[in-house]
Copies of this chain bind each other. A is one copy, B any other.
Amino acid sequence: MLEVTAEALRALLPEGRVLTDPDAMDAYTRDQTYAVPGAPLAVVRARDTADVAATMAWAQEERVPVVPRGAGTGLAGGATAVDGCVVLSLAAMTAIREISPLDHVAVAEPGVITADLDRAARAHGLMYAPDPSSHEISTIGGNLATNAGGLRCVKYGVTRHSTLGLEVVLAGGTVIRTGGRTVKGVTGYDLTGLFVGSEGTLGVITAATVRLFPAPPRPPETVLATFPSLTAAGAAAAAIMGAGLRPSLLELVDRATLRAIDEWRRIDLDPGAAVVLLAQTDGPECPADALVRECERAGAAFAAASTDEAEADALLEVRRLAYPAAERLGKCLVEDVCVPRSRLPEMVERVERAAERHGVRILTVAHAGDGNLHPLFVFDRDLPGPPPPVLAAAGEVFTAAIDLGGTLTGEHGVGVLKRPWLDGEMGPGVRDVHRRIKRALDPDGVLNPGKAI
């Protein structure tokens, strides 16, 4: 048997698409995690669907693994290269093929930066709602692969909810179109929903028809409240959501994070404040004063609203500084467990207990309206990856989330990093169904092996 080389692939594609120089390839082998990449055979920088189809046909023929990637901002190792693979970068497929102000849809290629799509929609009075924290650097393709969430998803839903149809290249190179451009449609199985969140293991998305919403007519109002206890903050979040107020953002910042920010920037926070809740509202169904009232009723030590953009921006500073404050302390393992909303305070406490028990510094911010927590596990900058106490604490956090009726991952995906915990969340029957679907769509296992399922 002849050894597979990248030359045959190079010959199939237009000039300049294929990289094989190890130094040039290096940046394409990893995401934002410490997952250790393998050495790829080649990197393909696709410019159109035909490039993707040709690569997929060749890879299937040669049984070469394909690792699709967008901007590499993932937090679960989903785009980590494996030995001998072709890394298939979609980052150069950046066309917004259409924006329809009439039908409130856009058709975007996978390399479009999330915030760019939103900006393009705003030019028509519309918005693209999903806004993962990485939205200025992440791509729509990566968002689709992981079913990304974000801050606004408490009101507008996650990426899957905004996705109406897809163009997908299957293993072997067949191009299919799923779904459509209507909000409703029940012809056949929900293949669109199936490919979204499948982390590149079932097909490669080369275009998406996404739903746009009318942009809110005015800038959001912002509310900040401090609470003496997690329980009180949790009660406030529950009361806000329970009253049907629909904030467009509802974030919790825990004591460890507040302390780390204060050590760095002196934010003059009330020393009694155990936790801060931040909310925004972009519509009349959610008056800012009603948010303040719910916070006060739940026991807030302080609660205030701001309509002034500069002042609102200052209030949001606490949330924005959380990640940099953590990164100032060392490397971070960023997790994203999600629990039923009512269990949020308990989950934050379980994180605090895990931090104490294992002597690990953990800063937690949470999308409180969704019960989705991001504990940031800080470790020594000189280490290549998280040391055993961090992994033990993370394992405890995963187990706690599942115990509380939640999930390992609310919006980042499983990638390679969370696979060891899959059995804790899924029964053997569900894992088996995953494998059967994977085999049905990728019988030779060329698509992103070792990820997601």
Contacts and interface: CB of A to CB of B under 8 A. Distances in A.
Nearest to A192: B193
Contacts of A270: none
Contact of A283 (B197, B285, B409): B285
Interface string A428-445: 011111101101110000
Interface in A315-336: none
Interface string A406-442: 1111111110001000100111011111101101110
B180 A406 contact: yes
B213 A181 contact: no
A176 B428 CA distance: 8
Interface stretch (A62-70, A86-94, A146-154): A146-154
B194 A341 contact: no
A381 B402 CA distance: 57
Nearest to A160: B190
A426 to B, nearest CB: 6
A42 interface: no
Nearest to A287: B284
Which of A341, A408, A452 gathers most chain B CB within 10 Å? A341
A434 to B, nearest CB: 6
Q: How many copies are assembled? A: 2
A186 B410 contact: yes
Nearest to A203: B433
A266 interface: no
Contact of A184 (B372, B422, B431): B372
Contacts of A187: 407-409, 414, 418, 422, 425-426
Interface residues of A, number: 89
B406 A182 contact: yes
A453 B190 contact: no
A368 to B, nearest CB: 12
A20 interface: no
A197 B191 contact: no
A413 B186 CA distance: 6
A104 interface: yes
Nearest to A431: B188
Given A176-B427, A182-B371, 8 more contacts: A176-B429, A185-B338, A185-B409, A189-B197, A194-B194, A217-B244, A436-B441, A439-B440
